[in-house]
Amino acid sequence: MRRSSRVFVLRTLLWAGLLAQSVSVHAQDNLIWIELDPEDTVYLQLQEGMVVIELNPDFAPKTVEQFKKLLEEQFYRGLSFYRVIDGFVAQGGDESDLGDEHPVPMLEAEFEIDWPRKPKDKDEAKDWAPMSWTPVQKNDLFAAQTGFIDGFPAARDKAGNKAWLTHCPGAVAMARNDDPDTGSTDFYIVIGQAPRYLDRNLTVFGRVVWGMDVVQRIKRGPANQNGIIEADLDRSWIKRMRLASSVDAGELLEIYVADTNSKGFTDLLKSRRNRTQDFFDRKPPKVLDVCQVPVPARLEKSSTSRRLNQ
């Protein structure tokens, strides 16, 4: 192999046109980085590694509140991903959504919110900052408008009065039965091509911001059994699932996510919508799939990177 002599080539080609997916250096420079709030950050420790999830109480306040309580009780410790369909979702918990027994109260659906969101009471009105909308695309197959709302891929209806979080890869949502108000504890993570037909039909309440590669290693179930893995030992287990604010200071991971309102991010969107690189023999249509724009994230504390991979 000619690896050593290639290092320079690799480096110079790093931002070149070659299947260019990434942020351009320029756009990256203009990004504003926001540290995750430990009160809305979940550490999901699997046998396969560490996954970090950002919760979204703006879109799913009741679901997030109950989820946090469950984390406090270490509810998910020792539970598993019992229904995993490659290219679709990994579903975990105690399987309560498959039956009629629910260990905790069932949740009202939080499928969408009124837009723009307004403070719900005087208390909230005090330091009220309106939510942002960073537009991505009009009229994709599933929504009149797509965009980002404070880091989350989202969509709005034609009138712009309703907004919802979209089922992009990494979306974390509550499983439920036929009745919309039957979510309780079991959740799923989208691991495949965005199943956008589920939008507004399930409560998306978070997103994976770090460790999606770990999520992709969760053991799959048989497709012809709807992904159900009957034998416990064949499943990927949840070692621990905790709120970041509950861990010791030394265990905290300094994870920053790009501010989707920053100029750096809108530059990034622009460069992906309008691909002018020589590489593109035929210029692609000037469109963007909101689920094909990963929001940059970085881990600051290098000493913890080993722990991340366990």
Q: How far apart are CA 308 and CA 310, in angstroms?
A: 5
Q: Name the minimum Å distance from CB 152 to its own copies.
A: 15
Q: Does 228 bind its own copies (CB under 8 A)?
A: yes
| 3-state SS, residue 307 | helix
Q: Which of 116, 245, 284, 301 binds its own copies (CB under 8 A)?
A: 284
Q: Name the minimum Å distance from CB 67 to its own copies.
A: 18
Q: Of 23-82, which residues contact its own copies (CB under 8 A)?
A: none
Q: Does 140 bind its own copies (CB under 8 A)?
A: yes
Nearer to its own copies by Cβ, of 68 and 164: the residue is 164
Q: Which of 37, 73, 230, 254 binds its own copies (CB under 8 A)?
A: 230
Q: Name the minimum Å distance from CB 199 to its own copies.
A: 8
DSSP 98: G
Range in contact with its own copies (rule: CB under 8 A) among 11-19, 29-37, 68-76, 242-250: 11-19
Q: Which of 121, 278, 302, 306 binds its own copies (CB under 8 A)?
A: 278
Q: Does 242 bind its own copies (CB under 8 A)?
A: no
Q: Are 266 and 101 in contact (CB under 8 A)?
A: no
Q: Are 173 and 188 in contact (CB under 8 A)?
A: yes
- Please give the size of the binding site for its own copies, defined by CB under 8 A: 84
Distance in Å from the first CA to the final CA of the chain: 31
Q: Of 150-209, which residues contact its own copies (CB under 8 A)?
A: 168-169, 175-178, 180, 188, 191-202
Q: Does 276 bind its own copies (CB under 8 A)?
A: no
The set of residues, in sequence order, having a beta carbon less than 8 Å from that of 147 and lying 6+ positions away, is 133, 134, 135, 136, 137, 153, 154, 155, 156, 290
Token pair 């722990």 is at which residue?
Answer: 307
Q: Which of 97, 110, 150, 259 binds its own copies (CB under 8 A)?
A: 97
Structure tokens at 174: 């509550």
Describe the strand order of the beta sheet including 297-299 as a list of residue ranges: 33-35, 255-258, 297-299
Q: Which of 32, 87, 128, 251 binds its own copies (CB under 8 A)?
A: 87
Q: How far apart are CA 218 and CA 306, in angstroms?
A: 20
Nearer to its own copies by Cβ, of 7 and 129: the residue is 7
- Judged on CB neighbours under 10 Å (0-12, 13-18, 19+), 226 is exposed
Nearer to its own copies by Cβ, of 38 and 180: the residue is 180
